[in-house]
A = this chain, B = another copy of it.
Amino acid sequence: MADMQALALLIQSLRSLPGVGVKSASRMAFHLLQHDRQAALRLARALQQAVEQVRHCERCHTFAEQPLCLTCADPRRDASQLCVIETPADQSAIERTGSYRGLYFVLMGRLSPLDGIGPREIGLSHLKERVGDGLVQEVILATNFTAEGEATAHAITQMLHSQGLKVTRLARGVPVGSELEYVDLGTIAHALSDRR
């Protein structure tokens, strides 16, 4: 539609959101323009502001709007433990358990050679530098238990092998509240071999 350039451009731009195809993008554009133009302007401002202000924490690489994130800047955290995770969402999940008081290193991704994500993209050399601060004694690998997460954990274990640090991995096992009958066999096998 030659007279609908702004609308066409909006639909095309919404498609750059993950999981949004052309039908969802059209529905979103229709909703914003027909029912909530204020929300559209708020979103535009929030996008600009976030791009301007959100940087990475210098120590743990998570999103931060100051040089250090609140966790890294908190003197009450236990600096002898460093938990390595893939994303800020994984960090919030661990924080919500209330059972970890150490620090984090956020890879902001995982090794994925097919997508062009190698050791440099997830900051492995920074991680090596970070664990050499003289305070870290244990590195807890909490990458996901997917093929890519496991490969990432393996690569980090290899890299830290010669550093004389304790390197641990989150325990695999049967989820709390689940019935054995419905748990996949790989999980049961791991729970058996890691029994305690």
Instruction: Check A170 for interface membership: any CB of B closer than 8 A.
Output: no
Q: Tell me how far the C-beta of A117 lies from the nearest C-beta in chain B, rounded to whole angstroms.
A: 10
Q: Oligomeric state, in number of copies?
A: 2
Instruction: Check A183 for interface membership: any CB of B closer than 8 A.
Output: no
Is chain A's interface secondary structure helix, strand, loop, or mixed overall?
helix
- The interface residues of chain B lying within 8 Å CB-to-CB of A70 are 1-3
Residue contact A43 to B4, C-beta cutoff 8 Å: no
Instruction: Check A66 for interface membership: any CB of B closer than 8 A.
Output: yes
Alpha-carbon distance between A108 and B29 when the two chains are bound, in angstroms: 13
Within A2-39, the residues touching B (CB, 8 Å) are 2-7, 9-10, 12-14, 16-19, 24, 26-34, 36-37, 39
The 6 closest A-B pairs by CB, nearest first: A16-B39, A13-B46, A44-B47, A6-B53, A10-B50, A13-B43
